[in-house]
Chains A and B, each alone.
Chain A
């Protein structure tokens, strides 16, 4: 495939916009009196639209745009049904963590998830374990996203893999470092619009190429009637498995640190209300649209075999180059908006842990520390980003392996400490620590040795074990003291 400038034009225009937003955010940062609040949480000023967009864009990654539709191509409508199980994510995450989380976050000055865990559990072990798993899983996940993006870039443009990787990985690192959380949230918003436009374009193109929905369904029925059933070919999508997916991609998403941190970054209650409304519509539209493209594509290009190649092939087949470039920007946007959020949160975690928490826990920082923190913030973000970039150039197999566990592992570690910390007074440090260790340990063990548990995804037994251990250990040890609990329960 030859490089095509028409294809590249939308991508380049779009990267330029990212830099612009980063510079603008940097000016806001320079005027801000509190570096940590501004750089790591945009001073809690997100309005409804930005909150909705950054929440959905952070959550939708390469898998929603490339992997998922690829599976839908071979599984048919049953896989779209599976994807639609994610519809409640926006209202569930924002609603369950809720205003309690936003109010408490402001009180204790939390800019990341570990700040919350520290204030609630007063346990260095919980924070240390949390930081370690967060940074490990985030690095692995970011590397995997970068690799996916670079491959997509290569297959669509014909340009060298390393050139693509360098171009867009360094862009993400640069705009995140310069602009901080504000730049991340604003670019996520643009990226959200690009994803919507990309989805509309390819869906429309595929339906037209297939001769309308009736004709497409008829073709699919002749190919294999099972493509039109909720169970898929050979009953692959069994009921216990699909139901356990509700836990993995819907309920437990509440515990993902990079989406949870957004739930304390909004301006006011109205912003949260609007974000639930907008976020649910966008989430549903993207999931439905992208996965339908995969299914419809089966009728348009029936001969493809490699899952991840399907979306790029269909795109090039049904769309003129400029629109195909816009679609290329769609998944790249999904990737960038996930990576930038993980990068800024990983950086916040490191800076807080290394320079603030372990330095003088609980005490306000002296004014002279402000400059040090500012430098540490920029340096940590840039350094982390460059490490991820370097690892993507020649990915160590350990990182690829860790990434397989990142999504469920983060849920296993953070879901209960967050939710029980908010809603159960008796939850304490030993309970949280035991739960995190049990959750991660059993998730690794079950994923590697058991694979499926009673036909369900292993996230279900993992979360049950983590919950039981949390409650048992908390009840067996001392209740948290009133002074610790006060910010969490006194209204």
Chain B
């Protein structure tokens, strides 16, 4: 079928959105890993503290949470598109 080769419009956009979501999850994993083990791997005596928390924890679990919640919001705001989910009248499904 010719039309499906193109997979235009909604499905192409939906596939792109799925990839963005996966990429953001991987970015989150990277941030989480690098801040936690990058700042927290040394001996506890050498820790710096931010607002009472060890710096590794503050960066990975608190800043990471806020940052990626904002990035997720930005992702749906700028990269996700509004589209009808119904096929509309005359669809043969």
Query: In the assembly, what is the distance between CA of A276 and CA of B78, in Å?
Result: 13
Residues of A within 8 A of B61 (CB): 77, 80-81, 84, 288
Find the A residue at minimum CB distance from B68. Answer: A87
Binds B, one of A19-27, A101-109, A178-186, A305-313: A101-109
Cβ B24 vs Cβ A269 within 8 A: no
Smallest distance from the beta carbon of B28 to chain A beta carbons, Å?
A: 5
Say yes or no: A91-B21 contact (C-beta < 8 A), given A284-B65, A491-B11: yes
Residues of A within 8 A of B11 (CB): 100, 103, 489, 491
Cβ B69 vs Cβ A217 within 8 A: no
Say yes or no: A270-B44 contact (C-beta < 8 A), given A88-B68, A250-B25, A491-B8: no
Smallest distance from the beta carbon of B23 to chain A beta carbons, Å?
A: 10
A135 at interface, CB cutoff 8 A = no
Residues of B within 8 A of A229 (CB): 40, 44, 54
Cβ A96 vs Cβ B54 within 8 A: no
Find the A residue at minimum CB distance from B49. Answer: A217
Cβ B14 vs Cβ A81 within 8 A: no
Query: In the assembly, what is the distance between CA of A251 and CA of B22, in Å?
Result: 9
Smallest distance from the beta carbon of B42 to chain A beta carbons, Å?
A: 9
A273 at interface, CB cutoff 8 A = yes
Binds B, one of A156-164, A220-228, A393-401, A450-458: A220-228
A461 at interface, CB cutoff 8 A = no
Cβ B20 vs Cβ A95 within 8 A: yes
- Contact among A85, A225, A246 with B44 in the assembled complex (CB-CB below 8 Å): A225
Say yes or no: A98-B14 contact (C-beta < 8 A), given A84-B60, A284-B69, A490-B4: yes
Smallest distance from the beta carbon of B25 to chain A beta carbons, Å?
A: 4
Find the B residue at minimum CB distance from A95. Answer: B21
Smallest distance from the beta carbon of A140 to chain B beta carbons, Å?
A: 29
A363 at interface, CB cutoff 8 A = no
Residues of A within 8 A of B14 (CB): 98-100, 103
A92 at interface, CB cutoff 8 A = yes
The number of residues on chain A lying at the interface, defined by a beta carbon within 8 Å of a beta carbon of chain B, is 58
- Of residues 18 to 65 in B, which have CB atoms within 8 Å of A's CB atoms? 18, 20-22, 24-25, 28-29, 32-33, 36-37, 40-41, 44-45, 47, 49, 51-54, 56-57, 60-62, 64-65
Cβ B57 vs Cβ A486 within 8 A: no
A487 at interface, CB cutoff 8 A = yes
Cβ B57 vs Cβ A280 within 8 A: no
Cβ B57 vs Cβ A99 within 8 A: no
Query: In the assembly, what is the distance between CA of A272 and CA of B75, in Å?
Result: 12
**B interface: dominant SS:** helix
Cβ A269 vs Cβ B83 within 8 A: yes
Residues of B within 8 A of A94 (CB): 21
Say yes or no: A81-B36 contact (C-beta < 8 A), given A276-B72, A288-B61: yes
Smallest distance from the beta carbon of B43 to chain A beta carbons, Å?
A: 8
Query: In the assembly, what is the distance between CA of A107 and CA of B88, in Å?
Result: 10
One digit per residue, 1 when the CB lies within 8 angstroms of any chain B CB and 0 when it does not, for chain A 476-488 equals: 0000001000110
Say yes or no: A288-B7 contact (C-beta < 8 A), given A273-B80, A276-B72, A277-B73: no
Smallest distance from the beta carbon of B88 to chain A beta carbons, Å?
A: 11
Interface centre among A103, A108, A212, A216 (most CB of B within 10 A): A103
Cβ A88 vs Cβ B54 within 8 A: no
- Contact among B10, B52, B72 with A91 in the assembled complex (CB-CB below 8 Å): B72
B90 at interface, CB cutoff 8 A = no
Query: In the assembly, what is the distance between CA of A231 and CA of B88, in Å?
Result: 54
Smallest distance from the beta carbon of B51 to chain A beta carbons, Å?
A: 7
Residues of A within 8 A of B47 (CB): 228
Query: In the assembly, what is the distance between CA of A92 and CA of B77, in Å?
Result: 16
Residues of A within 8 A of B54 (CB): 77, 217, 228-229
Query: In the assembly, what is the distance between CA of A273 and CA of B13, in Å?
Result: 14
Find the B residue at minimum CB distance from A80. Answer: B61
**Could you list 14 A-B pairs, sorted by A, with CB under 8 Å?**
A81-B36, A84-B32, A95-B22, A96-B22, A103-B10, A213-B53, A217-B54, A221-B44, A228-B57, A269-B81, A269-B85, A277-B72, A423-B18, A491-B6
Per CB-CB distance, the 9 closest pairs between chain A and chain B, nearest first, are: A95-B21, A213-B52, A225-B44, A88-B25, A273-B76, A99-B14, A284-B65, A107-B93, A230-B40
Q: Which A residues lie at the B interface, using CB under 8 A?
A: 77, 80-81, 84-85, 87-88, 90-92, 94-100, 102-103, 106-108, 212-214, 216-217, 221, 225-226, 228-230, 239, 243, 246, 250-251, 268-270, 272-274, 276-277, 280-281, 284-285, 288, 423, 482, 486-487, 489-491
